[in-house]
A and B are shown apart, each in its own frame.
Chain A
Amino acid sequence: MLTEFGKIFIFILLAAIFVIITLFISKFVRPNRPTKEKYLTYECGENPQGSPWVQFNIRFYVVALIFLIFDVEVVLLFPWALAYQEYGIYGFVVGLIFLLVLGLGMAYEWRKGDLEWARPQPKPPKLDEILKTKS
């Protein structure tokens, strides 16, 4: 007899086979008339500008990370909001501390200039420069 996992495994297998078979069928059935437009990457109707493999500005990642942190924070706040009444003032204080710590993180980012798109002077210290200023 199959276990529950076994059933799922068959399900996955079938799904994969189904996809492969359909792709193959379409490959054999469809007509093949390529044009230049058809090979272009679809960008909402705009003409693509250069290769998509470019280096993104690092600030995208920073903002994405910050967003992620506060996103998760909200997720954590939901269960707390549902349960804190049971714990009374104590539960409230715990949540408050949590928010304060996060707020401190926010303030930290703000103060450090990580929220600004164009940082005033994004200059990492270089060894020889430091040596020069020292001497």
Chain B
Amino acid sequence: MINLIYLTVLLPLLGFLINGLIGRKIKNEKVIGIIGSGTVGIAFVIIILAFIETLALPVENRSNTVELFTWISAAGLNIKFAYLVDQLSLTMSLIVTGVGFLIHVYSIGYMHGDKGFWRFFAYLNLFIFAMMNLVLGDNFVVLFLGWEGVGLCSYLLIGFWYDRKFEKGTTSQAAKKAFVVNRIGDFGFLLGMFLIYFTFDSLNFKEVFSRAESFPVAELTFGLIALFLFIGAAGKSAQIPLFVWLPDAMAGPTPVSALIHAATMVTAGVYMVSRASIIFASAPAVMMIVAVIGLVTAIMAASIGLVQNDIKKVLAYSTISQLGYMFLAAGVGAFSASIFHLMTHAFFKALLFLGAGSVIHGMHEEQNIQKYGGLKKYMPKTYLTFFIATLAISGVPGLSGFFSKDEILWSAYANGGFVFWLIGAITAMLTAFYMFRLVSLTFYSKERFDHHHVHPHESPAVMTVPLMILAFLSVVGGYIGIPKVFSGEHGNLFEGWLEPIYAPALAKLATFGSHSHLEEILLMAVSVAAALSAIYFSLYVYTKKLQIAENVSIKFKGIYYLLWNKYFVDEVYEAAVVEPIQKGSEKLLWKIFDVKIIDGLANGVASLVESGSGIIRKIQTGITQFYAVVMMAGIAFALLWLILSL
């Protein structure tokens, strides 16, 4: 099955081609939906088989390359279109196709009746195609192909309802914002790639990483490469300072938010950092930057999430915050923990978004949680699954989120220090708080919607079944990564599975201090206690005493205002970056440089060429004798030159 891995890429492409080319003619939504989700489903099955096959192999043979063809071969640059099937890419593809398949199925119900139904499935399949290239590529160029491909799909899907309004502008403005901000990151990524090729003379993962271990390369070079790569990752994974696009990306349909802007695409940055772990491990300073940025992003986004009222916005900030967690883990050298959290996060965040979609669906496209309330009795299945996901993300013991989050916190403590742990734990507390605020305002409390116009109802089975599957995964998904403290001699299964990938990087870091089990359990208990108290407090405030929340917001008006306006980041960017560039380009570049100099040059050259061509054309008289004369003149001239040069 490993050799057939290319099918998992080709099948979604096939789905895209069918739905994209003749989807408009297929009137039947069922057919389109089955083509769209079927291709991804089959891909998922193939990945599972490949996974089982890899598991059966001895550890040292688990990394296999499937070469398809030579893509670019020019001078020293030789790039093969090849897929790397190893522990990391298999884990990622399982998430992408598995969660992707569920979301595809869900979309059949969610997008029912939309006039762009076929277009939606075509884009989704294209996304899966690009994402699979991203995670399976065996060199930076294929990865970059997927990287740009998912960016394109993200753009297309954010602006999917191009005729709708979104906040102050339109969905296409949101799409453009996402695209432009991503370009900044891509620029960094490209620079990183150039530098890698320049330093290691290759772009193939295996070659680059083995050379990174053996080549005598200055730490500064490693630092620059890692920094550029991280800029790329920060753009794609919405980290400070490039996170501003993700909240706006919620303009797209909810399944898109679940698939692209929560479960898969935004985690591409985490994947890339973790794939290039050896490069990051060789640049300790950049590792620190990654950890700090992850941490600050986590707590900042979580604090914004406290006060937002749009159900999808809250989840968006929560996503940014959780991505910050993953970078924190990567930054302190716990790469497998970051991937582990990536996986559990994919389960529960996809579930949260899909649940939110189900709520929005049932509430006639209303997204403001202040206008929900008491929905528990109207949509019990959605409630139950949403509740499970909330428990998972809040880090309640026994659910998946607990294991992954706790491992990150522990690594942060062990490798980063107490402050890292403390901020991480506070973030976890905030997370628990705003998530239960969301649950309370949506499903408990009193009904605040207009009964005459809004009739909440449960979604159809095609939507709720994926919810239940994801809920199941959110509960049990963590048990493959039980920390060593509890599992004893078996160790952490997930970490053991990914270990060969990170062995070189970890060998280079080798800073894991020894801490006692008691310490670990103690810290765990503290963070759990903090989360549980936050949950209790949140439930108490938002179901019983809403008054307290209002009082607090009045009392800390300044902070509330700051959070409500998301720290004014958008406004600061507008004033500090967008405005000067716009002004400068209009006044200086356009009016003077472009119009006067460039246009002048272009027009001048054009008229020069034109008059030159007028003269040259006259040579072609149509008279044969003249042609012969010119030909002889040419020979005579050549002879003259010959005589002169002898």
On whether A and B touch (CB less than 8 Å), the answer reads: no
